[in-house]
Chain A
Amino acid sequence: MAKNGRFLVSLVGVAAVVTYLIWTGVSQTMQYYMTPSELVAKTIVDPSFHRVGVKVGGRIVSGSYLKGDGFHGFTVEDPEQLNVTVPVEYRGDLPDTFNDRPEMIVDAVMEGRFRTDGVFEATTVLTKCGSRYEASPEALKAG
């Protein structure tokens, strides 16, 4: 019995180590994941948010893509609050699924920093097609 007790203690020990790893892992790598309107609201309340890295998910505004000098520029909007838009600058490779055609609904998840000039400087851009690549009936009618 004593041996089993000792064994239990070691199991608890392992569990504690794993918990510790997860705990510190989360606290040291976590990022706020916000919509464009949350991002704008948050930085108004707390300007220090311009300095921390955040993750923002928004919908690519149709026709907003432009090629800058060495960077890609586009705008994302909040699908639930269409009046809030955030311009984005990105210097990496855009994913192949990036699209700003009006009949395509493409969401972008970006990591980066919201500069004080109101431009989001992205370090990574991932795209998620709305409703998992499924076309909307309107799009099919248009095509």
Chain B
Amino acid sequence: MNVLGELALWIALPVALLGTVLGFVAGRHQRGDLQLGAERSVYAVFGLTILASAGIISNFLNDRFEYLYTASYSNRELDVFYKVAGLWSGQRGSLLFWLLFLMLFSSICVWTNRNKNREFMPYVVGILGAVASFFLTILLFADVNPYEKLGFTPANGQGLNPQLQSYWMTIHPPMLYMGFTSFTVPFAFAIAALVSGRLDSRWIEVTRRWILLSWFFLAIGIVLGMRWAYEELGWGGYWFWDPVENASLLPWLSATAFLHSIQIQESRGMLRVWNMFLVILTFTLTIFATFLTRSGLIESVHSFAQELKIAYIFLSFLFVIVASGAVLILWRLPELKSDNQIESFLSREAAFLFNNLMLLGVLFAVLWGTLFPLISEGLTGEKISVGPPFFNRVNIPIGLILLALTGVGPVIAWRRASKQNIKKSFTVPVGVGLAVAGGLFAIGVRHGYALATFGISSFVMAVIVIEFFKGTRARARIENENWAIAFAHLIARNRRRWGGYVVHAGVVVMFSGIAGSSFNVNIRQTLEPGESAVIPSPLGHEYKLTYEGMSTTSATASNSNNNFAFQLVALLRVENDGKQLPTLTTEKRGYIAQDQPTTEVGIRSSFLEDLYVILSDVADLRSAIMNEPDAQTATFTFMVNPLVGWIWYGGMTVALGGLIGLWPSVSGAPVRAPVLSSARTREPVPVGAAGD
């Protein structure tokens, strides 16, 4: 299996290159026979990549530590679950995993389009083959081959970093990779449109669901990463503006902008150049994100010589994408003219355009902040970095404007909103927003950004609820249905629109959850068994946590995970204003093959706040593990994190909205794009505005 797997990689590269050439030649000379060959090469590379991936997994399952990659990320005792996940535990395997998803989506794209969109497909296949060739080149020639041998066989592997032994961390990378790789399809169609000269909105109609799919996976991947950081990293936060986190956020931001701006092109025939720019930008950022997370360029303190090769190959590829994209757009510029112009600031077009600008503003700020150490070093020779304060300072005000636009964009009329339209749409929501902000101020909330966030969130939520209410009521009357059925039919009839509202609602809830962190409480205290800590909640009540001592399980017998060396559990009795709550535990864990213990936090979640306890320090760890009674002194960090749960509820709502939007393509129903889009514009805007 392992020999076959490595061989598969070597065969895949020429096949992918051949497919690329065949695709472009087939497109240029209208040769159906060559096109068939090109499409078959995509399936062939997919098959070969499956073989290569299976080989890696079998290396993990069979403890083949003669391979550097297996030895670095596994040991005999590792859970089978994490051995399978070994395919994406480290850089080498991840790059192969990336390719696996790319080929999966490429094959789905080729298969679903085997009888249609023939004007695009040769070039689409050519582009997909080119991207695959690039990743195969990296795998084979940039010193990151997951099949590299050590030259000797260690007795056991190094084991997997305990922090990666988490359910969240196992599903988070696949989600992100699916998001990254599936965006290759819209990109390939955009380039095919530019090359073939079919520059109407057809390429967008064809790839709309791919765009949403990619966006959907990215969103889920990012939220899962936050969740992992919150549970596993043990410092009470979920986002640190780390280069790796930022890397995943960048393509999501531009994909979000793109998802909105294509609606303007579809409805009004505008922003054609802009959309081309955004699709190329987003694809570039997916590659850039992979580069940033998988090359260690920014995060490493010093440059590692062996990483230069992969950096150069990645940078050359990025350069080729950007340069060829720019040349193609310039070449087709005369044919990409807008059908219409923006008529008024008070229009949906304008709101969407501002939304795009704000998103790109955030994107630019994040990119700038992430790359700043490199930029400053290049310009002045001194490395200067910016941290979370920079990102918060810049992104919170822009984020609040974006949040407000979330409420304005979907209901303001196309072309030009009348005074009546604005008054009718926004009077009640603005009132709700002001009332909430005023109410919070009255009960003593003084944090400016938090007040603004809660106020604007309430405004947007009111807009969405009113939209759903009016839509349902109208349908219930016209179709004479009861409200529940009318509500379901309403969503089913225009999933894109109502799914979008659900996503917006989720985003609003997430924003409020993030704003909650302005009121976090953080207290560090050293306790002896029997002693208590009193932790005030910002909601007015008081937690009393009594430390009851530690218990250890030093052997592996009591636990199904035979990778544990010991588990040291601190017990805390919790009272909330005198009322007894379930006991909380927080742990230090030792893993075989990792001598540094890891910390497991204790979290008690409720709708409004989380009580978060970290076993920060054990005075005498060795004696504590031996259960010695006088070695029980422990230092805890107690945190109260208000509204943090809303981030996860909001994230789930976003995912639900995404699913609503995606549903038709999942069930295989035909996409009737023209009908849909004309229905959109003809649909009476519920507020009785001057829609066309």
Contact = CB atoms under 8 A, between A and B. Distances in A.
Interface of A: 3-4, 7, 10-11, 14-15, 18, 21-22, 24-26, 28-35, 55, 57-59, 79-80, 93, 95-99, 101, 107, 109, 111, 128-135, 137, 139-141, 143
A132 B599 contact: no
7 contacts: A22-B365, A26-B372, A33-B384, A33-B385, A57-B301, A128-B299, A134-B72
Nearest to A14: B357
B357 A28 contact: no
A140 B342 contact: no
Contacts of B342: 3-4, 7
A96 B163 contact: yes
A132 B154 contact: no
Interface in B143-159: 150-152, 154-158
B174 to A, nearest CB: 18
Contact of A101 (B301, B353, B361, B595): B595
A6 B29 CA distance: 46
A14 B296 contact: no
Interface residues of B, number: 68
Given A31-B387, A97-B161, 13 more contacts: A4-B341, A11-B353, A14-B357, A14-B358, A15-B361, A24-B393, A26-B372, A28-B393, A29-B389, A131-B306, A135-B71, A137-B150, A140-B71
A25 B393 contact: yes
Interface of B: 65, 68, 71-73, 90-91, 150-152, 154-158, 161-163, 233-235, 296, 299-302, 304, 306-307, 341-345, 350, 353-354, 357-358, 361, 364-365, 368-369, 372-373, 382-387, 389-390, 393-394, 397-398, 593, 595-599, 614, 616-617, 637
Q: Is the interface of B mostly helix, strand, loop or mixed?
A: mixed
Contact of A29 (B151, B158, B361, B386): B386
Nearest to A24: B393
B148 to A, nearest CB: 10
A18 B171 CA distance: 35
A128 B303 CA distance: 13
Contact of A11 (B235, B357, B383, B384): B357
Contacts of B373: 33
A22 to B, nearest CB: 5
Nearest to B635: A93
B386 A25 contact: yes
A26 B302 contact: no
B390 A29 contact: yes
B597 A93 contact: no
B617 A93 contact: yes
A107 B394 contact: no
Contacts of A80: 302
A71 to B, nearest CB: 11
Given A7-B342, A25-B394, A140-B71, A111 B387 contact: yes
A130 to B, nearest CB: 7
A94 to B, nearest CB: 9
Nearest to B240: A126
A12 B358 CA distance: 12
B63 to A, nearest CB: 13
B393 A93 contact: no
B301 A22 contact: no
B164 to A, nearest CB: 8
A140 B302 contact: no
Given A21-B365, A21-B394, A22-B394, A133 B161 contact: yes
Contacts of B354: 14
A29 B382 contact: no
A21 B393 contact: yes
Nearest to B357: A14
A58 B393 CA distance: 28
B364 A10 contact: no
Contact of A31 (B234, B235, B386): B386
B341 A3 contact: yes
